[in-house]
A and B are shown apart, each in its own frame.
Chain A
Amino acid sequence: MAKITYIEHDGTEHVVDVKNGLSVMEGAVKNNIPGIDADCGGACACATCHVYVDEAWRSKTGEKSAMEESMLDFAENVEDNSRLSCQIKVSDSLDGLVVRMPESQH
């Protein structure tokens, strides 16, 4: 279980508990948090679950796969700390994670 803070582009914060094994994307979607569309449901096929990982958490969220890297390369408003949240698996070590949402996923 990890407590995750999702911050919408307008600054609205949502703090929820997410079960281990789910993805950071699923944590948002199952709690109806706006700002993560996740069209493909986690297949790494659409880049509509884009988030910015808070600097302090970048190493703990792991490395991007080649597929994720190349999807992000063509998404909008990408920064160094951009990730596809469907590719980050939740575990105890992510307790306290903070992610921010971009202005738009499309």
Chain B
Amino acid sequence: MSDLKSHVVILGAGHAGGTAAALLRQYGHEGPITLVGEEPIPPYQRPPLSKAWLKGEADADSLALKPLEFYAEHDIDFRPSTRAASINRGDRTVALSDGSSVSYDALIIATGARAIALPIPGADLSGVMFLRTAADAEQLKATVGPGKKLAVVGGGYIGLEVAASGRALGAEVVVLEREPRLLARVACTVLSDFFKAYHERHGVTFELSATAAAFEAGPDGKHVTGVRLADGRLIACDAIVVGVGAQPNDEIARDCGLETARGVVVDLEARSVSDANVFAIGDVAHRPMPIYDRMFRMESVPNALEQAKQAASAIVGRPPPPGEVPWQWSDQYDLKLQIAGYAFDVDEVLVRGDPASGKFAVFHLKGDQVQSVEAINSPPEFMMGKQLIGNRRAVDKARLADPTVSMKEVAV
């Protein structure tokens, strides 16, 4: 397998797949690389789509991971606008949507995840959008602006970023959330309350505990003009962004008999547990996370990059890269949120700093160890918190809770 001349086929040309292709060349892989992507453009960064790009602060060139010429120059056979139809693991071939077939020595599944659609009437009306791809973002940018009202269904990070960008573009914004608080699945109440108040100060309105029952069209029967809530109320709007989560595109793996569990089950080399010639990376992978002693699926760029390194290293026979602490970030208005780790098995939540100051961090502890940190405009808390999650050092809770004590002095 660790043959520098082997043919590597990568299914999915997102951040994970594009990075894996570039890293293989960087690591000295000499054999053919085929990169198959369903979108018409080469791999690009998705995070700015809901942030800088939507506000016009980044252009298509700056979003691209590499310029288009890069792929030809590095002998990477990039096949845009092409989907993988099926995998035949016996023959080691992949059937593609254009009717052709490609054979592989090593296969990397990097098909990502897709936005979950709401199973309600009107979900396919024009003006009901998602924010996952550059095309989605183009459509959204063309739709929202001054004098328009945008309804965002889902009060998670994507929904809140879209709300902030919508306000920056001059639109009126209402966020509908099914749960009684924002970020209910991913953050503690301190953050939920903080973000709600911050967005309200920027003119966003919220409907909490509000379930969307239907999207309704105007007289033309085609374009959405409102959201009907389960309690019967109608929220009028010109456009809707649905941000209620994503699901892995793992059907192609399941269909060829690879073990899946909401994602393709892989080991620490990003290798499928069912087939040594197959890897899965990024949003589609269900991966081990040793610091938490469990397996799960993550949707983040750092995870995609880490797994791209794992798979590329394994394929070329390099030593595995050091394990990383998972992290992610979000930009809303002038707020920089940085999150490290996941709040598994937490028995105490400790707030450092005053949320009212717009600069604070929430530490999630298991005993005297940090499991995760959510840092608002607080890089030291994020950076040191991330190190503490990785090295498992015990912290002195009193010092950690005292913002006048340097983060360099909170470990025991």
Contacts and interface: CB of A to CB of B under 8 A. Distances in A.
Nearest to A21: B62
A15 to B, nearest CB: 16
Contact of A45 (B67, B74, B338, B387): B338
Interface in B1-39: 22, 25-26
Contact of B70 (A30, A74, A75): A30
Contact of B324 (A29, A30, A106): A106
Interface string B320-361: 001010010101000010100000000000000000000000
B301 A40 contact: yes
A41 B51 CA distance: 12
A49 B271 CA distance: 28
A47 B45 contact: no
Contact of A32 (B22, B329, B384): B22
A71 interface: yes
Taking chain A's interface residues, is the majority helix, strand, or loop, or is none over half, making it mixed? loop
Given A41-B48, A45-B338, A106-B324, A32 B74 contact: yes
B379 interface: yes
A104 B322 CA distance: 10
A48 to B, nearest CB: 9
Interface in A1-49: 22, 26, 29-30, 32, 34, 37, 39-41, 43-47
Contacts of A43: 47, 51, 329, 331, 336
Given A41-B48, A45-B329, A70-B383, 7 more contacts: A22-B62, A30-B66, A32-B22, A45-B338, A46-B329, A71-B383, A74-B384
* In the A-B complex, the 5 residue pairs with the closest CB atoms: A74-B383, A45-B329, A70-B379, A71-B379, A41-B45
Interface of A: 22, 26, 29-30, 32, 34, 37, 39-41, 43-47, 67, 70-71, 73-75, 104, 106
